[in-house]
Amino acid sequence: MLHHRRFGYRNFVIEHVWRTESELTDLKRRLDDREVHYFLLTLPVEENLRRVERRQAARAIDEREFEHLTLAQERRVLEGPGLGTPFDVSGPPAELVLRLLGLVGQR
């Protein structure tokens, strides 16, 4: 993070899935920065399945079975507490940006 801030970036995203509360707690401890926000990006199941079908329509190989299995596994793992503030990402990008900025106090 220091590298990004040194070059003038105030806002940036670390895209990673922490699967346990202890993993995320370890990250928070190492970063030790109250200005860092942690979000768990979520989608309603129906929207998630719609997106799986939309991706599949553009593929030459049918990966529905794999995607449905992965979706079920990830949902079970990420249902636990302590993995960040839930943030529903089913809206349009412009709406998501405004909501996110509001949550981090920059709107």
Per DSSP, the three-state class of 85 is strand
Please say if the pLDDT value at position 61 is more than 80.
yes
Residue indicated by tokens 């190989």: 61
Q: Do residues 76 and 58 touch, judged by C-beta distance below 8 A? A: no
pTM of the model: 0.75
Q: Do residues 103 and 89 touch, judged by C-beta distance below 8 A? A: no
pLDDT number for residue 17: 84
Mean pLDDT of 71-94: 88
Please say if the pLDDT value at position 11 is more than 80.
no
Ramachandran quadrant class, 14 (left: phi over 0; alpha: psi -120 to 50; beta: rest): beta
pLDDT number for residue 88: 94
Please say if the pLDDT value at position 92 is more than 90.
yes
Per DSSP, the three-state class of 101 is helix
Residue 44: pLDDT band with limits 50, 70, 90: very high
Dist CA 3 CA 6 (whole Å): 5
Please say if the pLDDT value at position 77 is more than 90.
no
